[in-house]
């Protein structure tokens, strides 16, 4: 979560590789990143992204999306050159602001950019047809003439605002929204305690249009489905009650263990609650009915970024960033690919309840390995049953949650030995290595719902991932790469320490180097950690490093509001601080303190401990605003969360792409939501708090 976390990790990887411990049980470094080890990914991806019906899907970099949508770029005075290594030549980085680098990466097709342009993507194909032009040629012509712009170049224009946000399996405002106060102000248009000053004219980005009146409340509708009240439901327009454990059928996997777990419904969802499957089923049915009047069939134009594990990796030879003024805009080379896709919005419900034809006709793929699963699709039709569709004939049914689970398991190599055999055959042919023995003992193994619902079932070795776990061996990443000479997903096939992309060279990070935490004094005018000053009221305030590690008494935000835990602790939000810092401020254990910086304000009780280093404060993340959150003394508005004191910062090399393994891959490549470099002031506030 540090701004320079990529450098830290590259150093780890270099050390473990040089010591020969990658792909070796008990060694290596494969950090837990949640969705990356979603075991049955081959089948899951077909359903999650609807690639059984339409390809490619729209997949966005969340950090970049919210950075622009929430207006945080309007307050970000950081220059890319200022954050580069002191030894860097800075070349192409020049005087760009961080937001300039993000917009450039989107325009070059290195990163996805949604919304795409300042024109409805459903109109582009119609306009191209009216002009007698191919869609790609028409879009390029409009961009080069200046008649159309990328949405990222003017994120505050009303035509570029996202209008509907659906929160599902997320607690955006209570857990993950770095820069929460900016979300509240610009995206939602509700009360906020954002304290930052907007950029002066000389500080503003060159590539983004500045509008003097910053928009507040871009969204028309915020919809959340959850099984409990959260910080997100507090600011949502509509809240749909959802089923929880023992109320639904579902699957669970993780890279913390090699098993597939089941969720089993012991009771029906109570009251108005519905399962995840039912919520989306009913939404798709309603939208399909409305679409008869409003949308019908349209041709959409998707701008898809240059993608990982594809020929796109060769679009920028030697990592040299081309001058677009010389080359022009070339879809799939110097800008995103432009792909027309027909969408019949009246058929969304029909598609939701059937496995689409593309899975059997075009096959599937994970991490560059193709799978022909036509036989498995036929078998699934026998298992799930089939029904006639108006678009593609007879197809396997997905009209219940259990049938969807059967589809995911039957099409994934980790749960179907025949699929794993197909993948290893294709992978072996591609890399010149016989991998058949990795699955030969389990070709006939099938893990289905009947097995999983009885007990957790251990997954099979599969080319979806890189670990060999036969004969009771524990999963360790990259063991197949090392033992079967499977190349790594880089241009050379080796693990790389040296990255010769122009932006890495200009940034001084072609090789992993030491980078300290950000200097907030010179970057943002904050005081240095440990500095004691007098506030406006004359009382002492101390600046500390501000860390937000995972909470020990909750799973992210879940269980934070458990009455038993709150009753035996402090009853609400807390911040841990050093006994030495507390003594400087006259703060006793359990007294109320206020934390503030250029981003926002938080009120919390202090836990004074000698275990916290002097000059550091810890506020465990995802402490909800739903209980025990008083009004801030400074502003009189409701206190914030741990993320009220953070803000998104884009590291330029995180958006460098279009070359080798730096090309975009969903949930792999892109900017991070770093928040470990922050500082804040702490002061003792009035102990007469108001709620």
What does the pLDDT read at residue 279?
97
- For residue 514, the tally of other CB atoms under 10 A from its CB is 9
Nearest of 342, 369, 359 to residue 52 by alpha carbon? 359
Contacts of 48 (CB under 8 A, 6+ apart): none
What does the pLDDT read at residue 289?
98
Q: Does residue 447 sit within a domain?
A: no
Last residue of a domain, one of 322, 341, 360: 341
Concatenate the DSSP letters of all residues of 655-676 into one string. Answer: G--SSGGGSB-TTTSS-----S
Nearest of 471, 453, 463 to residue 433 by alpha carbon? 463
Last residue of a domain, one of 310, 341, 372: 341
Contact 606, 589 (CB under 8 A): yes
What does the pLDDT read at residue 35?
44
Nearest of 397, 305, 399 to residue 355 by alpha carbon? 397
- In three-state secondary structure terms, 394 is strand
Last residue of a domain, one of 302, 325, 341: 341
What does the pLDDT read at residue 32?
62
pLDDT-based confidence at residue 480 (cuts at 50, 70, 90): very high
Handedness of CA 288, 293, 299, 302 (dihedral sign): negative
CATH number at residue 598: 2.40.40.20
Q: Residue 107 and residue 104: Cα distance in Å, rounded?
A: 5
Q: Does residue 617 sit within a domain?
A: yes
Residue with tokens 């003017």: 154
Question: How is residue 136 written in tokens?
Answer: 């790609």
Q: Does residue 164 sit within a domain?
A: yes
Q: Residue 315 and residue 324: Cα distance in Å, rounded?
A: 13
- For residue 319, the tally of other CB atoms under 10 A from its CB is 19
What does the pLDDT read at residue 34?
46
Q: How many domains does the chain have?
A: 2
> Over the stretch 503-545, which tens digit does the pLDDT of each residue have?
999 989 999 999 889 988 888 888 888 889 998 888 999 999 9
pLDDT-based confidence at residue 337 (cuts at 50, 70, 90): very high
pTM above 0.75, yes or no: yes
Contact 4, 509 (CB under 8 A): no
CATH number at residue 311: 3.40.50.12770
The radius of gyration of the chain's CA atoms, rounded to the nearest angstrom, is: 26
* Mean pLDDT score across all residues of the chain: 93
* Distance in Å from the first CA to the final CA of the chain: 32
> Over the stretch 11-57, which tens digit does the pLDDT of each residue have?
988 999 899 999 999 888 766 654 447 899 999 999 999 999 999 99
> Over the stretch 228-287, which tens digit does the pLDDT of each residue have?
999 999 999 999 999 998 999 999 988 778 899 999 999 999 999 999 999 999 999 999
What does the pLDDT read at residue 29?
75
Q: Does residue 127 sit within a domain?
A: yes
Q: Does residue 473 sit within a domain?
A: no
Evaluate the omega torsion of the peptide bond into residue 388 and state whether it is cis, within 30 degrees of 0.
no
Residues paired with 222 in a beta bridge: 165
- Percent over 70 (pLDDT), the chain: 98
> Over the stretch 142-160, which tens digit does the pLDDT of each residue have?
999 999 999 999 999 999 9
Contact 649, 76 (CB under 8 A): yes
Q: Does residue 306 sit within a domain?
A: yes
Q: Does residue 88 sit within a domain?
A: yes
- For residue 680, the tally of other CB atoms under 10 A from its CB is 29
What does the pLDDT read at residue 60?
96
Residue with tokens 């275990």: 611
> Over the stretch 372-398, which tens digit does the pLDDT of each residue have?
999 999 999 999 999 999 999 999 999
Query: What's CA 489's distance to the chain center, in Å?
Result: 21
Q: Residue 677 and residue 523: Cα distance in Å, rounded?
A: 11
Average pLDDT over residues 558-581: 91
- In three-state secondary structure terms, 388 is strand
pLDDT-based confidence at residue 658 (cuts at 50, 70, 90): very high
Give residue 232's domain range. Answer: 5-11+56-341
Q: Does residue 372 sit within a domain?
A: no
């Amino acid at each position: 979560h540090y701004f320079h976390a990529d450098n830290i990790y590259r150093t780890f990887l270099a050390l473990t590789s040089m010591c020969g411990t990658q792909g070796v049980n008990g060694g290596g470094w494969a950090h837990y990143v949640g969705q990356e080890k979603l075991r049955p990914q081959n089948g899951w991806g077909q359903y999650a992204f609807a690639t059984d019906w339409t390809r490619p899907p729209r997949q966005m970099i969340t950090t970049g999306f919210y950075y622009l949508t929430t207006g945080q770029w309007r307050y970000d005075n950081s220059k890319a050159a200022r954050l580069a290594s002191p030894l860097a030549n800075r070349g192409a980085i020049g005087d760009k602001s961080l937001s300039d680098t993000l917009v450039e990466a989107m325009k070059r097709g290195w990163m996805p950019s949604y919304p795409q342009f300042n024109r409805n993507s459903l109109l582009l194909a119609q306009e191209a047809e009216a002009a007698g032009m191919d869609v790609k040629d028409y879009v390029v012509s409009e961009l080069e003439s200046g008649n159309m712009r990328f949405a990222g170049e003017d994120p505050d224009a009303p035509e570029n605002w996202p209008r509907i946000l659906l929160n599902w399996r997320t607690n955006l405002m209570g857990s993950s929204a770095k820069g929460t106060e900016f979300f509240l102000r610009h995206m939602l248009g509700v009360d906020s305690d954002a304290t930052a000053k907007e950029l002066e004219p000389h500080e503003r980005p060159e590539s983004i249009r500045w509008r003097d009146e910053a928009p507040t409340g871009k969204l028309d509708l915020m919809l959340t489905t959850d099984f409990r009240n959260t910080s997100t439901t507090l600011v949502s327009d509509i809240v749909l009650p959802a089923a929880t454990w023992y109320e639904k059928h579902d699957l669970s996997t993780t890279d913390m263990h090699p098993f597939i777990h089941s969720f089993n419904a012991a009771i029906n969802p109570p009251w108005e609650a519905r399962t995840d499957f039912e919520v989306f089923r009913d939404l798709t049915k309603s939208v399909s009915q409305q679409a008869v009047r409003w949308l019908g069939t349209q041709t959409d134009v998707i701008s898809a970024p240059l993608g990982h594990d594809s020929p796109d990796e060769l679009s920028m030879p030697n990592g040299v960033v081309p001058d677009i003024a010389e080359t022009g805009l070339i879809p799939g080379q110097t800008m995103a690919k432009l792909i027309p896709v027909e969408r019949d919005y009246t058929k969304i419900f029909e598609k939701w309840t059937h496995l689409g034809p593309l899975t059997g006709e075009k096959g599937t793929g994970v991490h560059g390995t193709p799978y022909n699963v036509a036989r498995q699709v036929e078998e699934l039709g026998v298992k799930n049953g089939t029904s006639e569709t108006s678009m593609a004939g007879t197809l396997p049914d997905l009209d219940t949650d259990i049938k969807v689970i059967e589809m995911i398991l039957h099409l994934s190599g980790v749960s179907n030995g025949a699929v794993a055999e197909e993948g290893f055959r294709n992978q072996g042919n591609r890399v010149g290595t016989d991998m058949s023995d990795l699955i030969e003992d389990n070709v006939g193994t099938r893990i289905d719902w009947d097995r999983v619902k009885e007990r957790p079932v251990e997954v099979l070795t599969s080319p979806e991932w890189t670990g060999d776990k036969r004969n009771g061996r524990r999963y360790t990443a990259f063991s197949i790469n090392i033992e079967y000479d499977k190349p790594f997903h880089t241009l050379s096939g080796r693990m790389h320490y040296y990255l010769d992309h122009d932006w890495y060279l200009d940034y001084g990070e072609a090789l992993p180097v030491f980078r300290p935490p950000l200097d907030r004094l010179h970057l943002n005018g904050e005081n240095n950690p440990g500095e004691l000053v007098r506030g406006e009221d004359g009382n002492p305030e101390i600046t500390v490093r501000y860390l937000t590690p995972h909470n020990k008494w909750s799973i992210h935000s879940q269980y934070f509001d458990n009455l038993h835990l709150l009753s035996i602790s402090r009853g609400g939000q807390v911040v841990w601080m050093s006994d030495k810092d507390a003594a400087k401020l006259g703060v006793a254990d359990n007294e109320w303190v206020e934390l503030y910086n250029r981003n926002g304000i938080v009120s919390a009780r202090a836990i004074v401990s000698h275990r916290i280093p002097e000059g550091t404060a810890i506020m465990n993340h995802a402490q909800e605003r739903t209980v025990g959150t008083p009004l801030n003394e400074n502003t009189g508005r409701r206190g914030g969360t741990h993320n009220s004191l953070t803000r998104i910062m884009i590291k330029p090399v995180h958006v460098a792409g279009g070359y080798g393994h730096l090309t975009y891959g969903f949930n792999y490549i892109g900017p991070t939501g770093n928040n470990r470099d922050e500082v804040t002031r702490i002061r003792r506030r009035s102990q007469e708090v108001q709620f």
